[in-house]
Each structure stands twice: as structure tokens, then as C-alpha cells.
Structure 1
Amino acid sequence: MSTYLKASVIISTYNKPECLAMVLYSYGLQTEQQFEIIVADDGSDTRTEKVIADFSEAHHLKISHVWQEDDGFQKTKILNKAILAASANYLVFTDGDCIARKDFVETHLKLRRENCALSGGYFKMNSNVSEAITKEVISNQSCFDKDWLLKQGQAKSFKLNKLTKSTTKAKLLNSLTPTKATFDGMNVSCWKADILRVNGFDERMAYGAEDREVGERMMNNGVKFLQIRYSAICVHLHHERPYKNEVVLEKNKGIRANTKTKKLTYTQFGIKKD
């Protein structure tokens, strides 16, 4: 098998080993296997290390664990470290609570374009459905099946269309959706060179649109964001968000407003420190 890597999949995590184990399992089933996984770990304990070691033993995929000490929510810092650790020239960003459909990596690679980033979505499962997820469920791809989800207690809604298997329907919905194509860290991909050009994530930012801001700098720098929310499919495991903080959200809003107003293409608080 060729060692050429078509993509580096960067998975952010923090102390959710059970979720991460399911997510990693979904990457072992991908139709495209010429990619590496980089777990961007914002200070998890040794349980996460064990999950990664177990996956590495059971699968041939290259997997790296990029870790930093726990010092509060510092996702932007660990993502910048993961970007530098990536071997491939194309990066797919996702979270350690998003299970990928088996064509997820293949779809990102198939739809990538020069000077573009791809903006995907995710389908949010409720707590009951999330608890029903097992490796067997992921293996037979039931968690991406509308009927299975409804049977488990997922509410019926238009959002179930996010799980379509039809490329024609996906293209149509991608073109019709009012949702803007943005940098959403749960499901987005871009060229490594494009994110390095804007100096990566702004490390002043904590929880709340910290991913959107890097995308806004990339857009200001001429990168076009393409909508693929109905094409690249992942399902999101339910969890609480104890790290939400109104003061931090306001600070983040201020940074984003400055990026938009001044049309900034670079942050001095990113990968390279000026």
C-alpha cells in the first residue's frame, strides 16, 4: 500500500474517551484509507491515550496524539499544534463527538478545489439515540439511517435530510440552503497552505465561534467557502457544554468584529507569534 497521504483528519477532543472511541472506529471504516488521523487533545487524562493506543493496535491507519496540559478551554492552541503536525497538504477538521459516515473522507477529497474550503454540517442526535450507539451500529451504518434514528426516539424533522444518500438531492439542498458556508470545526476541510497563510487559529479565543473567525480571515484572504452540508455526513453525539461562558463569548465577538471590520487576513496571535 502507498504511504502517500491524501489528507490529515484533525479530531479535537477533551476528556470524552467513550465518544472518541466511537468516532475513531468510524474512521477505520472509511472507503478512502489514504489519510492520517491527528487527535488534537486539549489536556485529557490517560483514558484518551488508551483509546488512541487501542485504535492504533486494531487499525493500520497512521494516528498521532498531539496533547497539551489542561489549562482551561484552549482548543485554538491545540488545533494550531495539530496543523503543524499534519503530514498531508489537505486538512479535514472535525470533533471527537462526531461519527463520520463511511464516505466522509472520500467526499471531502472528491469535492476539494484549489483556493476553496469545504463547509459541512452535522446531524445532532438526542441523548437517547446517542446512548444507543455501539460499534455494531456504526459498522452497519444504522446511525445514518433515518428509520433507525426515528425508531430510537429521534424527533422527525427536516434536518433528517442531512443524512441523504442521494448525490443529486445533496447537490440540490446544498444550493438551496440559506445557511452560509463557514468554517465550522465539526466538519470543514481546507488546504494546509491556505490556513497557514492566515496564521491558523487566533489563540486569544476560547469557546464560541473560535472556528468561524479563522474562516473569516481565510475568506478575507480570497479563499472561497463551498457548501457541502448535505454531502459530507457526520452525526453528533449528545453532550452538555459546561464550558460556555458569556464573558468569553463577548470577547470572541469583539475579535470577530475586528476581523470583519478591518478585513484582516492574518492574526498575530496564531501559529507564529510576532
Structure 2
Amino acid sequence: MTTLAAKRRRILVTGGTSGIGLELVRRWVKRHEIIATGRSFPEELSDLAAQNPGLTHSRTDQAKPRDAAGRIAAAITARGWEMLDHAVLNAGTGFVCDPADEDIARILETLTTNLTASMVLAHHLFPLLEKGGGTLTLIGSTAHRGAPAFASYAASKAGLNGFARSLREEWRGRVRVQILHPGPTRTTMHQKAGLDTGRAGAFFTPPAAMAAMIDHAIARRVAVRRLSFLRYWSGEGLLARGL
């Protein structure tokens, strides 16, 4: 399977303000037009936007899916985009907890942010992706098979995996749909979730390398791929060619 021909693409990246999402923005910002979304507008992204007029930011909170969809639609309209080449739904959250003790509000936040918001955004973005012959990329997690102390997070990613499989059949020939499952990555998510990774954290994949593997998988149009530290240590993060 050949990679996509190089051209300046219109790309939406949710959760593009930190971690893997921010690294994807860094990889693409010189070659493509990007809208990055997130709850905040950190200095790193602000600096990139100041240096690259093709990058804009939309402050959105996927825990409020309808509001997020409206804000993203407004950002796309403001850019004058009538189509999308790529939508990378990367934003996510999670909390470490024994399922028996997990707060209901946190369960709802996790499921809403990771699953419901992606479903709502997919619905809203479909016409733009279809018009552009584009690709919807859902960022799952290897945790979708189950993860200790991450039951709600794992459930949300398992649901996202099922949603991607269904969409791929529903939209076949109209919009490409793929789901990519990153393994443990060296971001601030674990700290925010309340997980002490200890010495194991040193073996997590660096976010820039994970972004490189995601970029490569998007360019190769793979339907499903697990992106583990084994791929990273095999050199794929360095050798990967993307959009």
C-alpha cells in the first residue's frame, strides 16, 4: 500500500494542546493547515501559532459534546474550510480508581469525553470529510482490552473501538475510518489520572515517537493498528514517513 501523495491538507486535531496531539501538530504545522482544539491554549501551542499562520486554536471541552461540536464548526467556518482531509479525534481523559469506589461524576466525564464526544463529532464532521474524500482517525488505546484501575477508561476505549468498526462499514467508499491504539506513552495523562508509573514510566514511548507512528499509520491508511513500545524500540518512530 502506497503512502498518500504530498499536498497541503486541512486537518482537525482534538486534544491538540498537549501530549500526543501537540506532537502531531508539531509534525504537521509546516506542511498543512491545522485547527487544534483543547481546554487550554498553552504557551507551546501559542508559539507555534504565532510562527505558523496555518495553525489556529479552538478552545473546546469534550466533556460538553454539543458545545464542543459547535465551537469546532465555528472554527472551521472561520477558516473558510468547506471540506476536511483529516479529522484526528485524540482528546481523552481518565482516572485511576477501583471501579467499586469510582465517583459517578468521573465515570460520566470519562465516557462523555472519550466516547460520546467522538460520536457526536463524527456525526457533525461527516459531510466535510465526505466532501474532501477524507479520513476520520479515532485514537483509542491498548487499554480497550481491559486495564487494572482504569475500568471506565478501558470501557470508553472499547466502545470507541466498536464504534470505529461500525463506522468503517457504514461509511465504506465515502469516508475512510481508522482506529489506532497507542500503548503507554510518556505524557502527563497518567499524572493527571492519579497514576504513579514508577520506574515503568521510563519505558513508555515518548510522545513525539508515538505521534510519528500515528502519522505513519494515517498516511498508510491502515484500518486498525496497535502502536506499542515494541514498534518504537524496533525503530518505527524514527523511520516512519507520514503525511
TM over 0.5: no
Query: TM-score, normalized by length of structure 1?
Result: 0.35
Greater share of residues in helix: 2
Q: Comparing both chains, which one has the higher relative contact order based on Cα–Cα distances under 8 Å and sequence gaps of 6 or more? A: 1
Query: TM-score, normalized by length of structure 2?
Result: 0.38
